[in-house]
Amino acid sequence: MQDRGWWFAGALSGALVVMAGAFGAHALEGQLAPRLAAAFETGVRYQAWHTLALLAVLAWRASTPLAGQRLALGLWAAGILLFSGSLYALVLTGVRGLGMITPLGGVLMIAGWLALAVCVLRAQSPSGKT
């Protein structure tokens, strides 16, 4: 199966989204300052959207493999790890310095979307025209 590792990563990320969302809604409910609760929820939301995007690109790649798709996948995976991961760690540990990592993860997520846009622009249509 092509991209088996990416499918595994997407499935694992999807499971982690559900676990993190449930943890935030139940175990952390009433335990956090509103600002920290919002940060945790933001991490879950961004991870969920980027996990869905990752799976959608994998499905697209199965029928139409393009060079830039893997770059987008890698940037999103790194972005999820750094953006959402740093928010989770910040909320759970209270180490404020972790918040400096979050914007880097956001930049990686944006770069993934831009890489996907370039990939689409460079792809040739079935008629041979771009």
Tell whether 128 is covered by a domain. Answer: no
Q: Give residue-wise pLDDT tens across range 51-66.
A: 999 999 999 999 999 9
Tell whether 130 is covered by a domain. Answer: no
Q: Which of 39, 40, 12 is nearest to 24 (CA)?
A: 40
CA–CA gap between residue 84 and residue 77 (Å, rounded): 10
CA–CA gap between residue 18 and residue 14 (Å, rounded): 7
Tell me the mean pLDDT in the region 81-101.
95
* Whether the predicted pLDDT of 128 surpasses 60: no
Residue 66 structural domain: 4-122
Tell whether 127 is covered by a domain. Answer: no
CB atoms within 10 A of CB 116: 21
Residue given tokens 């999820």 in the structure block: 80
Tell whether 30 is covered by a domain. Answer: yes
Do residues 109 and 79 lie in contact, with contact meaning Cβ atoms separated by under 8 Å?
yes
Tell whether 129 is covered by a domain. Answer: no
Tell whether 104 is covered by a domain. Answer: yes
Q: What is the pLDDT of residue 125?
A: 64
Q: Is 75 helix (H, G, I), strand (E, B) or coil?
A: helix
Tell me the mean pLDDT in the region 95-115.
96
Supply the pTM of this predicted model: 0.92
Number of structural domains the chain divides into:
1
CA–CA gap between residue 15 and residue 86 (Å, rounded): 18
* Whether the predicted pLDDT of 127 surpasses 80: no
CA–CA gap between residue 123 and residue 70 (Å, rounded): 14
Tell whether 79 is covered by a domain. Answer: yes
Q: What is the pLDDT of residue 63?
A: 94
CA–CA gap between residue 46 and residue 36 (Å, rounded): 15
* Whether the predicted pLDDT of 91 surpasses 60: yes
Tell whether 16 is covered by a domain. Answer: yes
